[in-house]
Structure 1
Amino acid sequence: MKRTRMFLAGVYLLLPILLLVCPPAFSQTEKIENQYSAAKFKTYHNGNKIDSIYLMFSADMQAALPKDKANEFLGALKAQAGTIIAMEFKKYEGPYASYKTRFDRGTFAVNIALDAAHKINGFFVKPYEDESAVKPARTVTKLALPFKDEWTVFWGGDTKALNYHVEDPAQKNAFDMVITDKLGKSFKSTGTSNEHYYAFGKPLYAPCDAEVVDVIDGVADNKPGEMNKLDITGNTVVLKTANNEFLFFAHFKQNSIKVKKGMQVKAGTLLGLCGNSGHSSEPHLHFHVQNTDDLFSGTGIKAFFEDLRVNGTLKNDYSPIKNDKISPKK
């Protein structure tokens, strides 16, 4: 994958979006045919019956998504999201019946459109957004940088040119950070080993007092240039602040995480070591803040840091952008 797409994959890329023409629907009461199709889809998905799902597709849908592509598409959904626990009808969006769908590994909006014969002729999956949830614009908690060295912001900011994450609701304010040398390179030697990368193995710390609400460890680090397509975040720590802000740290080194779920940590507590696990092609830190603990249903919160140096200048209450070199105030 090209360097411009090297970091945490946006969940919109999990599945193709098929927008096929069908009549508009305005009722917000779930129709029996939609209820029946959603229930069958859940049963077939959980039972790994991809062929049965494919038979639910209309002829136009099958033409748009041939069987080999459908197998890949539906297999990726099962591998990445897991088993469906519950599907709750929420509303109609044009021709689509939209379901809040809780999977093993997150909550998504599953959208299904039916033709006149009650065959599926439109289907797409996207992160679920709770429209009633509080969506603060920026962090309230005072945050320190989560490291002690100088790091370079590879992705960060409010525009797509500065930050490819902006199109994902939960990760729209995310940062991807590396360590670079005077030539702007993030590695020494050939860059073919994780140990060649300056960020690999660097300690990462809690930026504030918080509760550890989720930990994933044991995921193998990738070889540079390769990515784990089935595990987006890799080894992960999620912290919850007293202000109900959820801090996501992704791609830790395998078996390096030092905290456990349920722990209360103080600012400066060692969380683990920077690695190259998950959907990552080189060692780096992915960090973002959102309003829920569910990566796939949250809304991003813009993170501001206290007492840091930015390109050699002292700043306070600052949100870094692409190419900034940042380090804690000494």
Structure 2
Amino acid sequence: MNAKDAPGMASLFGDGMREAFPVEKLTRIVDGLLEAKGRIESSSRVEPPQDENEGFYRFRTERGEWRVELHVDPSGKVSGLKFNEPPAPAPPVVTSTVSLGLPYRGQWLVHWGGDRREVNAHVDNPSQRRAVDLVVVGPDGKTHRTDGRTNKDYHAYGREVLAVADGVVVAAVDGVQENEPGEENPYLVPGNMVILKHTDHLYSLYAHLQPTKLRVKVGARVKKAAVLGLCGNSGNSTEPHLHFQLQDGPRLEDSWGIEAVFDDVTVAHEKKTGRVMHYTFLKGDLVGNPGNAL
């Protein structure tokens, strides 16, 4: 590309690419790319490939960068090549500005939560960057009573899921079949879920709920602590738990996660128990409302 050698590039193409991009057309494309951002100075892989015949790259140029998607056919010839603008930088994480209550009664354990990969598996997903997974444990510290082979054996299963603030239901998914413990459904990741709108830029999401147990429908206005549904094991979930997150829009695919700050909770961690007036979830914490019974 830097040498503007369109015939040389075309020699690397498979039949379909050569037909779609004859040398004359390819020359114009290469000239346009170089004119837009200058010569390519370096390249690096930005994502692990899904299979051996594709790759995703970051091309640094004199005046910016390209994100490049490359596909090759079994013979090693280029079957697809796409230059994209780099993604916009992520906005800084903001915290919630409305008064929030916990999305459950009693004391639950934060299985994943926080602002680092070591404590939160969600942080690299834009809408989930401060999402949490919440479970209930017994006196022995386990999430299930006996062998954990059935959903009903889990302490969290069937617990009521509550609205964290007043809002309007903007999405409600029901009817997704539950998984057996240890299995998951990657095709319907949230499973049965509810999304509430609290303000124009604050939404809450409650996922992996039980099917046919939702208590709300789209358009309903709910009050803080209203029951939305029951904790279940639907979607991309291997055991009953509640996935909760705040985001700045109604759609998971184009929203940014927001850090939830809760008013007046009790927190137990490493044998220390105390009352916290402004709390954010962190892995390993046992969190409840003062005086809130199971």
CA distance in 1 between partners of 2:91 and 2:135 (Å): 32
The answer to whether the 8 Å contact 1:240/1:247 transfers is yes
Q: Which amino acid aligns with 2:221?
A: Q
Structure 1 partner of 2:171 = 214
The answer to whether the 8 Å contact 1:129/1:297 transfers is no
CA distance in 1 between partners of 2:284 and 2:195 (Å): 25
Structure 2 partner of 1:329 = 290
CA distance in 2 between partners of 1:248 and 1:209 (Å): 13
CA-to-aligned-CA distance 1:195-233 (integer Å, 9 cap, x gap):
000000000111110111100001011000000121100
Structure 1 partner of 2:129 = 172
The answer to whether the 8 Å contact 1:291/1:300 transfers is yes
TM-score relative to the length of structure 1: 0.64
1:160 aligns with 2:148: no
The answer to whether the 8 Å contact 2:192/2:235 transfers is yes
1:317 pairs with 267, 278, 283, which one?
Answer: 278
Structure 1 partner of 2:152 = 195
1:151 pairs with 95, 101, 108, which one?
Answer: 108
Q: CA 1:292 to 1:26, structure 2 compared with 1: closer, same or farther past 3 Å?
A: farther
Q: CA 1:118 to 1:176, structure 2 compared with 1: closer, same or farther past 3 Å?
A: same
CA distance in 2 between partners of 1:121 and 1:246 (Å): 38
1:228 aligns with 2:216: no
Structure 1 partner of 2:195 = 238
Structure 2 partner of 1:182 = 139
The answer to whether the 8 Å contact 1:310/1:324 transfers is yes
Alignment of 1:37-52 (within 5 A): none
The answer to whether the 8 Å contact 2:94/2:259 transfers is yes
Q: CA 1:64 to 1:252, structure 2 compared with 1: closer, same or farther past 3 Å?
A: same
Structure 2 partner of 1:64 = 52
Identity, in percent, stands at 34
Deviates more, 1:309-318 or 1:135-144: 135-144
Shift of 1:173: 0.3
Q: Which amino acid aligns with 1:244?
A: H
Shift of 1:64: 2.6
Structure 1 partner of 2:216 = 259
The answer to whether the 8 Å contact 1:95/1:113 transfers is no
CA distance in 2 between partners of 1:300 and 1:283 (Å): 23
Equivalent pairs, count: 232
The answer to whether the 8 Å contact 2:148/2:154 transfers is yes
CA distance in 2 between partners of 1:256 and 1:239 (Å): 17
Contiguous gaps of at least 5 residues in structure 1? 1-22, 30-60, 67-91, 97-111
Q: Which amino acid aligns with 2:289?
A: P
Q: CA 1:183 to 1:261, structure 2 compared with 1: closer, same or farther past 3 Å?
A: same
Structure 1 partner of 2:80 = 120
Q: CA 1:113 to 1:284, structure 2 compared with 1: closer, same or farther past 3 Å?
A: same
The answer to whether the 8 Å contact 2:178/2:233 transfers is yes
1:279 aligns with 2:236: yes
Q: Tell me how large the CA RMSD over aligned residues is.
A: 3.0
Query: Which protein shows a greater Rg?
Result: 2
Secondary structure of 1:233's aligned partner: coil
Structure 2 partner of 1:301 = 258
Structure 2 partner of 1:94 = 66
Q: Which amino acid aligns with 2:288?
A: S
Contiguous gaps of at least 5 residues in structure 2? 1-29, 38-48, 55-63
Shift of 1:114: 8.0
CA distance in 1 between partners of 2:50 and 2:149 (Å): 42
Q: Which amino acid aligns with 1:324?
A: D
Shift of 1:119: 3.8
Alignment of 1:25-44 (within 5 A): 25=33
Secondary structure of 1:221's aligned partner: coil
CA distance in 1 between partners of 2:197 and 2:274 (Å): 30
Deviates more, 1:172-181 or 1:307-316: 307-316
The answer to whether the 8 Å contact 1:25/1:94 transfers is no
CA-to-aligned-CA distance 1:215-272 (integer Å, 9 cap, x gap):
0001011000000121100000001112521111100011111101111111111100
The structure where helix makes up a greater share of residues is 1
CA distance in 2 between partners of 1:151 and 1:138 (Å): 22
Q: CA 1:186 to 1:211, structure 2 compared with 1: closer, same or farther past 3 Å?
A: same
Secondary structure of 1:276's aligned partner: coil
Q: CA 1:135 to 1:160, structure 2 compared with 1: closer, same or farther past 3 Å?
A: closer
